[in-house]
Amino acid sequence: MKAELSTLVAHLGQRALSETKIIPWGCPVPSFGDPEKSRIATLGLNPSNREFVDASGNELQGENRRFHTLKSLGLRDWSDAQSIHLRLILEACRRYFFKNPYDAWFKRLDRLISGANASYYDREAQACHLDLIPYATECKWTALTRTERTKLMAVAGDTLGLVLRQAPIDVLVLNGNAVVQNFEEIVDQPLVREEMPSWALPRSASAGVMGVGYTGYVTRVANVPLGRRILVLGFNHNIQSSFGVTTVVMDRIRSWISRMVRSVAYDAA
């Protein structure tokens, strides 16, 4: 991923990104964990600002640091980055789950993929996490303007495809409806939608929020040919932020993911 990272770092000096709410002093994050050792990857929108700052907005330091910044690399500007700096950034990405991961976010997703014999925290059956856009922003993706989101997609929308093309990943798990919608846009194809009544989230003032599962296969992402087909599984609930996602619903989604992955493995055999 070194060539892709070099391009992402170079983009940090472009005007298009300076007009968005990216964290300009934080490095790009092409992966959480090691894609080259993963069979399953989860997919989100973009890295959280909490990967770089604490609850008060201060840059994470020392043992609390998760990813590199201009300060940690001793750089004044990203244009000064050399090969050694790129290696340090990639190493932090690969070792992410064995140092100081943002467990408040990742533990819930890890539970969902554990039924498929994969975990972010298992060196022998590794999974990784990828994002549609590898730049952290000061606010959530959904709080960005449409213009800002469009600029970010134009600059780095092919990164996911480039990472997947080099990795042995054969299952991609999409976390939440916003991820599903944006993913469908970059692959330019709809996923198969199926209502899942057993995933419904109860609401006191309404009938509740229906659960929805998504399935499909992709061979190309953002016009990047993958050289194989990848199974895509998604669910409409954002596991971290959807109100009322119970352990029962999580376990049902976990069982569904496990069943779908096993069926593909059986067909392949």
Tell me if residue 191 falls in helix, strand or coil. coil
Tell me if residue 9 falls in helix, strand or coil. helix
- Which pLDDT belongs to residue 269? 46
- Residue range(s) defining the domain that contains residue 110: 2-268
Residues 224/203, Cβ–Cβ less than 8 Å: no
Residues 6/86, Cβ–Cβ less than 8 Å: yes
Q: What is the pLDDT of residues 189-237, one digit of tens each?
A: 999 999 999 999 887 666 778 999 999 999 999 999 999 999 999 999 9
**pLDDT at position 66 over 90:** yes
Q: What is the pLDDT of residues 110-131, one digit of tens each?
A: 999 999 999 999 988 899 999 9
**pLDDT at position 149 over 90:** yes
- Which pLDDT belongs to residue 267? 56
**pLDDT at position 266 over 70:** no
Residues 204/190, Cβ–Cβ less than 8 Å: no
- Which pLDDT belongs to residue 268? 52
Q: What is the pLDDT of residues 68-96, one digit of tens each?
A: 999 999 999 999 999 999 999 999 999 99
Mean pLDDT score, 153-171: 96
Q: What is the pLDDT of residues 233-246, one digit of tens each?
A: 999 998 887 677 88
CATH number at residue 234: 3.40.470
Average of per-residue pLDDT values in the chain: 93
Nearest to 66 by CA among 37, 36, 35, 23: 23
What's the total number of domains in the chain?
1
Q: How confident is the model at residue 263 (pLDDT cuts 50, 70, 90)?
A: confident
